[in-house]
Amino acid sequence: MIDKPKYIGICFSCGKPLTLLDLAVTIEGRTVDWDERTTIDNTKSTFCRHCANNAKEHLKGGIKEAVKRYENDEKTIARLKEIDEKDKLKADQSGIITA
């Protein structure tokens, strides 16, 4: 009889259940949820190899390269405009003065 795999975590990016063989990256520490304005101590985020490799690619070139990639992506430009409009609406509703 073959034992069922022992899962030790869930990929923080794609949601895949992870065994020790699947695990590529673990990040431990405090998590800040900026949307909810809360912190969670002693969190552990795990990532599968596929998502860890994707993250490494996204980090190449730092912020400057990330901005270039996003500026060249029409879907991203539309999404950023949508987020900006939502932020302005929230600020208007809360009485915050925006430029």
- Per-residue model confidence (pLDDT) at position 95: 67
Residue 7: C-alpha distances to residues 19, 35, 42, 46, 47 (Å): 5, 29, 20, 12, 13
Residue 88: C-alpha distances to residues 47, 54, 91 (Å): 34, 32, 5
Verify that 22 and 39 share a domain, yes or no. Answer: yes
Residue ranges making up the domain that contains 70: 62-99
How many structural domains does the chain have? 2
Residue 80 in this model has a pLDDT that exceeds 60: yes
9 membership: H or E segment, kind and range:
strand 9-10
Verify that 35 and 69 share a domain, yes or no. Answer: no
Mean pLDDT of 74-96: 77
Give the pLDDT band of residue 96 (cuts 50, 70, 90).
low
| 5-58 residue pLDDT tens | 899 999 999 999 999 999 999 999 988 888 888 988 878 899 999 999 999 998
